[in-house]
A and B are shown apart, each in its own frame.
Chain A
Amino acid sequence: MALSTRHLLGIKDLTENDLQLIFETADNFKSVLNRPIKKVPSLRDVTIANIFFENSTRTRLSFELAEKRLSADVVNFAASSSSVSKGETLIDTVNNILAMKVDMVVMRHPYAGAGVFLSKHVKAQIVNAGDGAHEHPTQALLDAFSIREKYGDVAGKKVVIVGDILHSRVALSNILCLKMLGAEVMVCGPTTLIPKYITSLGVKVEHDLRKALNWCDVANMLRIQLERQDIKYFPSLREYTMLYGLNKEILDSLDKEITVMHPGPINRGVEITTDVADSKQSIILDQVENGVAIRMAVLFLLAGQTE
């Protein structure tokens, strides 16, 4: 049993068997993370470079921790403090890193397709840690894994993704992953932040937050990505919060108890209020914990294919 792909560039490259294999492996790593010694020697002869051309806290830390828990040698690279600012190309940068005998590259990049481009030009295995507004596969995997952990299965669950769908790589990866696992998916947000042909992915569209929440089992609240918005998509953050922000009052008014997720970082008081983020219905911190286990599983399964 092995993954059907040499790189993890996006959810669209994976099969349902791949997803199940990643989840089963992550189950084992989750138990490793709860032991007195949270480290296994599996990747002791593997060197991994974390190359981040965009800011990241959670994903970079999560990958780094996963790599160290697997006993890999880790090098970190941030574009802001590197020769990229002197004009070096992406391939030159990566090839220079690979010349130092690096086996795997975990890359975050502001441009969609950067991981695919790199995988065609270098020998190392590439893991996409987010490429522009395209995909963020490990986030989708950990989100689906968290739903599976909460409900036992993803199939048949109703998941609404709320917010800035247009600029969100998390939304696209989540839609592909959840649909592959048999969940029903709905997107909810202002018309300006819902892509025109999103229904071609087999998702429902709803612009009324209360209707969407009454329909769903799980609400995944996305961050408003002001850094990706070059024009105004809604009049003000305050208006967005009034129409699409999740607060305790709305949550308590529903006729069922839904699960609240957020990929982070949270704009508290914008897409989600503090009392919701910290409520028992929120599994946001479980998502963070599961992120390490999922990334350990992905790295372990990819590294196992190299020879």
Chain B
Amino acid sequence: MLNPTLLDGPKFQITIQRLCRQLIENHNDFSNSVIIGIQPRGIYLAKRIAEELRKILPESTILHGDLDITFYRDDFRRREQLIPNQTRIDFVMEGKKVILMDDVLWTGRTIRAAMDALMAFGRPEKIEFLTLVDRRYSRHIPVAADYTGIEVDSIASQKVVVSWKETDGEDKVVLLSDRN
């Protein structure tokens, strides 16, 4: 198969549910925890997780925001210019437990930039990281996820694409081959 599907259908939803349960184990009612999705694609994961948590914990207030890291990237002037996305954090992060979320963890550089960007909003008590897809053995810096949906072994020329029902019509994770 040229572009194997790594996750879709009921399995996709089960994975999201499992991640939510793992978060509840560590964050209880989320009274001191906030969810931050990393722009551009991590925001869909964060939104989905937040929605699921609100269903599971109807009494809780689940705070969730979006974080743009364009100005904090370490590859500025080394690649095609990126246009910044919106940062939307309308709550105080100081002293809170922050769960950063991105759809794919690959080199680790994005999450490094995100932690840098996060500090501009205050000093969180703790930062955790949740990813839907962990591309193993491809880190450029020592970063690991606290919560992982699935792990995949891939080569640098391949690409992991996560589609979302809200924006792309279906929930799906596909591994794109370099021969595309």
Contact = CB atoms under 8 A, between A and B. Distances in A.
Interface of A: 1-2, 21, 24-25, 28, 31-32, 35-37, 39-43, 45-46, 70, 300-301, 303-307
Given A36-B120, A37-B120, A305-B81, A28 B86 contact: yes
A178 B77 CA distance: 30
B68 A28 contact: yes
A41 B83 contact: no
Given A36-B120, A36-B121, A40-B71, A28 B84 contact: yes
A28 B80 CA distance: 19
B95 interface: no
B57 to A, nearest CB: 29
Given A31-B87, A35-B120, A41-B71, A307 B81 contact: no
A21 B83 contact: yes
Contacts of B152: none
Given A35-B120, A35-B121, A41-B71, A304 B86 contact: no
Nearest to B74: A41
Interface of B: 68, 70-72, 76-78, 80-81, 83-87, 116, 119-122
Given A1-B81, A301-B81, A307-B77, A40 B121 contact: no
A24 B122 contact: no
A224 to B, nearest CB: 39
B77 A24 contact: no
A39 B81 CA distance: 19
Nearest to B113: A41
A307 B122 contact: no
Nearest to B69: A40
Contact of A25 (B72, B78, B83, B122): B83
A24 B121 contact: no
Contacts of B76: 42-43, 303-304
B156 to A, nearest CB: 21
Contacts of A31: 86-87
Given A35-B121, A45-B77, A307-B78, A40 B72 contact: yes
Contact of B77 (A1, A28, A40, A304): A304
Contacts of A304: 76-77, 81
B78 A42 contact: no
Contacts of A32: 71, 120
B72 A41 contact: yes
Contacts of B121: 35-37
Contact of A306 (B77, B80, B85): B77
A28 B122 CA distance: 18
Nearest to A296: B71
A32 to B, nearest CB: 7
A304 B116 CA distance: 20
A28 B121 CA distance: 15
Contacts of A42: 71-72, 76
Nearest to B116: A41
B78 to A, nearest CB: 6
Nearest to A39: B120
Contact of A1 (B83, B87, B120, B122): B83
Nearest to B70: A28
Contacts of A36: 120-122
